Structure formats: C-alpha cells, structure tokens
Structure 1
C-alpha cells in the first residue's frame, strides 16, 4: 500500500506524469541501455525502434499508480507482465537498474518539478510495482522448475514444414536429453537466436499443437516491414536460416491466457497467425473433451495464407466459419461478422489476432451480451497492456 504522504504527491502529479509518460520512457531506455548494454538482449529491438515498447512501459507505470490510488484493477496486467518476464529470464537484481534509470528519466523530462518529495513518491510507486512482480515471477520460476540461469535450453529442429505463404512450422525436440515440459493449450514459449550482427534477440511464439507429446511445435509467420519499417529480424532469421537438425534456444512455456477448464461451450475466434494457439486448443479438446461444444471462427487475408488449414478444419468439426478478405471461394467474403457467429449460451470465448481485430470483435461480443469476464485474449508485444 502506498504511504499517505506519497499518495498525496502521486495524486497531485499523476496528470503531469501521464501527459509526459511517453517522453519519460523514451528518455529512460537509451539511458539504461547506454549504461547496461547487456540488457539489450532482453528487449525486442524492433519494438524499441518503433516506440511501442516505450508506450507500453508508460502505460504500465501510469496504470499501476492509478491502481494504488483508487483500486483500479491491475491484477490481470501484472500477471501478464510476470509471465512475459519469466519467459525472458528477467532477474530480481535487474529491477534496481530499471528503477534508477526510470526515476532519472522522470527528473530529466520534468526538470525542477521533480522535488525530492516527488522523486521519493514515484520511487515508492516503482518499488511496490517491482516487489509485486518479483514475487509473482519467483512463483512462476518455481512452478516451471527453472531459474534465470537455467531458463534457456537447446532444442533441435526435428522437422520444418511450410504451412502457408510466409508461414513455417518448426517441430522441436530437447537437444540436452531433458524432458519436454508440460504446458496448457494457449501458452507460448520464447525463442532466442543469435542474429548475424552478433546480437541475441528473443521472441514469443504460441505452441501450435496440443500438449502431451514428446515434442513442441511453433509456427512462425515472417514479419514483412510496411511503411518503411524493416522486416522482422527474428522471424526472417528463422525463415531464412533455420533448417532441420539446427538448434535454437527455447524457454519454458508461459502465458496466463490458456484454455479455460470445465465443460462450458467454447468459442475460438482468430485472425492471421493468431490461429496457432487455437490449433493447440482444438487438438486438446478433440483428444480430451470430444463432446464439448466448440465453435471455431478464423479470418485471413486469403486462403493461401491460412496456416494449418487442413488440421484446423479436421479438429474444429462442423461448427466452424472462415472469412477471407479477398473473397476466396471456399470461405465467407470480407471481414468477420460477429453477428453471424452462433454463440452458445454461457460460452467462454478466446480471441487471438491483431490488436485492432480483437478490440473490434470483443466490442461486438459485449454488444451481443457476452460477459467481459468470459472473453479471454492474448496479445504479444507491448500492445498487451491495451484493454
């Protein structure tokens, strides 16, 4: 709980910090990386270059401060951040580094407005945030049976399969003789590669087949740069350089948005490469709950980009709907019409796809009477803080 004195200061200064949060985080990251270049390996440098990561941190700090002041729910966001941190191997001893440079960035941007009292109050906000994350991450590390030192394991590519245009699957086996970890359908793993420039970069990819096998599978869509942005560094590396019998570093399964247990009907709505966790969920449901009601909906630009198409159709069963934006003949034409989706009573809905797609579909589901608590979604990257 925030102390009374700090709460008064944070309440008075929160509007100013909120208005300048993006500037603060834009100052913070270069300062921290200049002093600690080893931390570059933890962060998606594509998101750094685009500014998305800066906005994500700004949103997190402001949202947590608001939570401390008035109890605005923050638990789901904190849980999502903790899972992401564990998937990357964030260490407790790195939090003081972040805190020092973050408060320094606040002072650099706001100047004389940052009195010792203001600095102390926001330092208290940061450390309450940090301590809660450190505790949550310790529990997740313990559950996974790993530490930051043992997080990354070498996995051998047993099979590479071209799934669709710009989309490749990699079936992975432990190269260290260790066990294949258990996971929940819908979770992801981090994959780290050493790029040609010598920099190690991690990315998260959903596990794209059901648990309970002696292997893991990820499916990677090549990220094509648009509007002058570069192509995705890691997805391009995996597509261009990783073949059968090569090895990659893989972290433990993570992610708090997994298939909900029980026997309530399930509606799975995905777009693009967001189909990957849905294939995992469908495979699990087919094997363990074949009589559970499932409605599967997928949207894609065109049929040739529909990853895992045959597998998806086979697993989804009769209640499935596909939309192709370009009007391919074997799917509905245009964008997903949520009003056309059959929604069983008391259904649980899982979404995965671009942020704008999920935002629009979620809003339409709420208009149709689906409870917000029954709509579950995972977002990779800094957009995960948008609600």
Structure 2
C-alpha cells in the first residue's frame, strides 16, 4: 500500500507524523509523495495562523484530487471539522486525541506503535500534549485540550530505542514546561524527565524545544551543565511591553523576563538563545513596539522568530480592537527580523575558531556536509563522505550567509 503523509506546523505534529510513518512502514506500507499515486493520503494540519489554515485547505484539496482515500487530522481539522468535510464527501476527519489510531484504521491491525523509525537525524519526541494556559491570541489549547504528560518510564524506553540509531533527540510538547504536573503519584517536572534520560539512557544529546521563562529554575540550569544537554534554549517573549503582555495574558513582566534571561546567559555562557515575538497585536502602538525593540536589543538572543499577529477564531484577542495597520505591522516585523539577523551574525562570528560538535544532517551540491551544533548553529565542512547522522568535531573559520563554514577535526 502506498501512503502519502503530509505534515504542517509544529514539532509535536512532526513527532506524531514520525510515529505514524514508522508504524505504517512496519506494516508494509510505502511512504510516497502526493504526486506518486498514493492509495491513502494523511494530512496532519495546523491552525496557528490564518496562513496555516489556508495551507491546510490547499493541501487537503490536492489530496482529494489524487483519487486516494483521504484522512485529515491535526489542529485545523479539529477546530474546523465541518469546513474540512465540506471540501469533499470522501474525507475522514480524525480527532487529535485519536491521531495515532490512524495506523489501525488503515492496516486493520492492532499492534504496538513504532517510536524509533525516524527519517530525521535529530528526531522529535513528543513528551507532553495540550495546554492549561489561555494566552489570548492562541487557539491551540482549544484544539489540543488540557495538558497530558507521557510517563517517564515510557519515554525512557522510547529514547533508548531511538538511541540505537540516532545521536540526538528533541523533546517537544505543546507546553513542554508543564511536563509531569498531571502525572499520578505526585507532581513531576521537566527536570525529573531530564535526570531520568541522563541516568537511564545513553542518548548522546538531548535538546529542549521550548520553555517559558517561569519554567526555567536553578535546577534546570544545573542540569544543563551536563554536556549531553544541548546548549540551546528557546524562550518565548512575545512582547517587551507590559501593557501588551497583560493583554496577551502572559504570566510575566518584561523586567522579570530580562532578569531571568540575563541569569541564564550568565550561568550557561555562550548558549544559543532564541525567542518568539508577535508584532501588530491589538493596542500595540508606537510606544509599545519601541519597548519591545529596546528590550530585544538589550537581550543576548542569538536568533529571533517574528510573527505578525494573526486573529484566531474563538480566542479573546480576536475581538480586541485597535490593531496596527498591515503596513505598519510589516514595518515592525521587518525591523525585528533585521535585528534578529544582526544578532545571529554577531553570535556566529563569535563562534569562529571555537570547536563545535555537529550531527551531520545533509549534503550540499558543492560537496559539503552540513550539520547542527549543540548551540543550534548550522555548520558546513568540505567532506562529502560523512554519512547523515555522523558526529563530527569541526572548527568554524568563516561566516557564510546564515551559517558557518568549518574544517573537519574528527568524526565518529
């Protein structure tokens, strides 16, 4: 059976699709592109922005034109079920909570799922789903429900399986920092999970996908001193204005955020620090944006993800007034993107001459191998014979566009 599996959106979606793919392949399925006459198309959708909704609909329409059986799941179809079904009478919509049951729907076999057959060299592993918070701009909690954590013993087993063929695992969740709070037998935390993975598995590198500023405590920073934990944290800011943060229902202020980020940088040295920022939120005037711009300028961020505000149905922000014009929102977005590029290049320049360990992820047409370092830098080396997944020590010697070019020291 030929199956096309198309995935949009976040790392949790990517992780879930990897489980679907590995499990279906175990039952004899062949994974193909939409253009290769599939028997079944699975579309794993996203609804984080209006553009995500549009892209999801376009992909569903393309799938229906193949003549294959079409199964749609993910956050967009969770919140717009009737709209998805109206695209074609032959579509099956599967709830997020039942997503992994798609394997049994297709194969008619009830068997354990496969969590270790990943095409990525640095696979994503979902450890938590859902969110108990209600940021006013976000519809994902409506689509994913309350926070649910996967037991530590199950995750240890999955990471042990992954480590047989992979050297890094990326821990991901809808709200990763609330991991364990719902588990029976007393509150657990992301720190407990990290300690268990360090003590009970031999995975070479563990990367955290995203944590909120209030979820990084001294114990987290102590654990991150272990060289097996990647020197990289992504800590969403969203706005540098206390007024806007309050409207967003974020549970921190700009001063507290700044203090904690500076503490992280002080404890962990030249760690790669990323953040998310939303521009054009309702009530964001010139003053509020300037507060954001000034705060981000002061922060030791090494890269920025900047998104213009996208109104989501069912959220509190969708009914808020006084949004900046599209042109002004674009101007603000561009300013922050330019600042992000400046910060990224400054950070990369500071890494020239510093030996980095990369995991090779691919190769260029020019014959170089390209990999990702612990501190989340892309580094290429002139060595086309390094297989994907190889661990290599490299020494960057120059900046090349958005990445570094280095010389190979050793590989294993």
Question: Could you state the TM-score of these two structures normalised by the residue count of structure 1?
Answer: 0.29
Of Structure 1 and Structure 2, the greater helix share is in: 1
Of Structure 1 and Structure 2, the greater strand share is in: 2
Question: Could you state the TM-score of these two structures normalised by the residue count of structure 2?
Answer: 0.28
Q: Which has the higher contact order (CA 8 A, sep 6+)?
A: 1
